[in-house]
A and B are shown apart, each in its own frame.
Chain A
Amino acid sequence: MEHNNHQGWYGETFVAAIAAAAGFQVAVPYPDIGKDLILGRDHEEPELDVQIALQVKTHRVESILDAVTGFKITLSVSQFKRLRGKRQVPVYLVVVLVPKDPADYIRTDEDALVLRRCAYWVSLEHCLPAQAGRESVTVTVPRDNLLTVDALHEFFARACEEVPAP
């Protein structure tokens, strides 16, 4: 597989693995309309039967440097528009840091399956609209926002919160 495609496919599967561990359903929208993954949980309680959407980016790194406090991601204005603003189905930008060499993506043994390396998330809901005339927007994904099972549960809890009646 071509390296970029391989890396993108691995990145989405990496996130899907975390969603699976959290017990959520994963759907890939067809056709691709700017969301890579839709997560759901088919809850018996209608109020809790909600979804969230993820846009997944991948980034090749040699290693995770201690000094880094965040990762800058450049988005086209159209990509940015699909991520910002208030939404019924909240959407998060996820960046998966992957090894440069695909041979290092995964390590298996009898005790563990190790997926390298990690993913971070950011919500662009409250970002200001892109300035007129701009073609791209650069956003920062904070190092503190590690994508974990707990983080996904937190996303779903927020997606159920009441909002003021329109």
Chain B
Amino acid sequence: MTTIGVPEDELERLRPHDVAHYLRSRGWQEAGRVRYSRRWERDWAGRARRLLLPMDTDLADFADRMADLVGALAELEARPPSAVLQDLRATGLDVQYIRTMPSTPSGTIPVQAGVLAVTSARDLLMAAACHTIEPRLVQPRRKPRAARDFVDSARFGPTVPGSYVLSVQVPLPERDLQPSLFGDDPEPFARSVSRRMYRAVAAARTAAEDAMDADDSAPFADAVGQGVSADLCEALAGIGGHDDRGAGTAHAFSIDFAWSPRWQVPPMESVAPFSPRLVHALRDGAQDLRRQEPEPGVTVIGRSTKLKRAAEYGPGEVTVEAVVLGVEGEVGPKRQIHVTLAEDEYTRATDAHAQGRTLKIEGDLARRGTYYELTRITAFDVL
């Protein structure tokens, strides 16, 4: 046992280059050499900090010096040395630490919230994987094979002391020891998903804050390009204790990302914690994204109430007060539906309007705030 309470042989097995990658990924910069070690520096809460990383594994005091380094990192990162060591050793893994902060005593979580957090952690992986394959507002029910395989490969690591922390481990493939002839190896899918998840979690947090400030859910739709989807927001809300029935008490949570040194990542700021209010905003954002996702192959039947065209000819916009026919044939309530029609259909709609006749149109239906929009028109009839 060493001064930091971890076994000496575990410190002896650490590889200096892996530790260097860890430091670089967390904003430390190499600043020179001192004997057999490299000096790393960074500002931490306004104070310049220094670490020595022993580079020679033959040093008789290699384990002692690694203990110094791990101990210093543990103090700065406010984590137990064993947790830091676990990251340094997990060289083939991208790890997401999901720290839930329920009101129960530290280290515990109510069973219901725990189950929800665990399934939501899986959903978060799936959402990030699906979005990496194809960005969408709402991911399809049938998930792509690559996304399912990815989720199958991930695992939960040991929990870490403090609050209630789930560690999600994403294994990365071994890297060829022989460098590629054509520069760097391409990034593996698992790493692309981890990076997408990081960006998406950060973007979802920003969107949730902006949505609360503006009292408008538009920021979520704007963040779709960064990985935000209804599925991702639901998964995050679930981690915060808010399930799809709106039951349960929301609690704060945070997600920290640790990166395998096998493929380099640029330095990334940590994502600030999500407060319970943000958890609610995420839930609302998810619902709104779901509403915005067009429902494909919808038939609407009703009369036009407004026709508008910018010029004497060309396409024009029609507002229809119409009922929506469901796939099963059921009839929904009357809705204000905006449709953009090509020139021929617009002319026919104008005639139908003058004669008080009914329109039947097929297309994809999407909610846009207070009204609906029918896009990708596949059929147009005057009844």
Contact = CB atoms under 8 A, between A and B. Distances in A.
User: Are the chains A and B members of one assembly?
Assistant: yes
Contacts of A165: 33
A123 to B, nearest CB: 12
B36 A163 contact: yes
A46 B2 contact: no
B56 interface: yes
Nearest to A32: B3
B203 to A, nearest CB: 38
Contacts of A91: 61
B60 A86 contact: yes
Interface string A25-56: 00001110100000000000011011000000
Nearest to A165: B33
B34 interface: yes
Contacts of B32: 46-47
Interface string A73-116: 00000000110111111010000000000000000000000000
B31 interface: yes
B50 A46 contact: yes
Interface residues of A, number: 24
Given A31-B3, A46-B39, A166-B56, A89 B31 contact: no
A47 B32 CA distance: 8
Contact of B37 (A31, A33, A82, A88): A88
A89 B61 contact: yes
A159 B52 CA distance: 14
> Chain B, interface size: which category?
20 to 34
B34 A47 contact: yes
A29 B35 CA distance: 22
B64 interface: yes
A87 B35 CA distance: 9
Contacts of B61: 87-89, 91
B145 to A, nearest CB: 45
A88 B50 contact: no
Interface in B47-74: 50, 52, 54-56, 58-62, 64-65
Contact of A88 (B2, B31, B41, B65): B65
Contact of A85 (B1, B41, B54, B60): B60
B35 A162 contact: yes
Contact of A30 (B3, B33, B52): B3
A165 B52 CA distance: 14
A166 B55 contact: yes
A64 B37 CA distance: 41
A30 B58 CA distance: 25
Given A46-B34, A166-B36, A85 B59 contact: yes
A88 B56 CA distance: 9
A50 B3 contact: no
A163 B52 CA distance: 15
9 contacts: A31-B3, A33-B2, A49-B50, A88-B36, A88-B65, A89-B61, A159-B35, A160-B35, A165-B33
Interface of A: 29-31, 33, 46-47, 49-50, 81-82, 84-89, 91, 159-163, 165-166
Among all A-B residue pairs, the 3 with the closest Cβ atoms = A85-B60, A166-B56, A87-B61
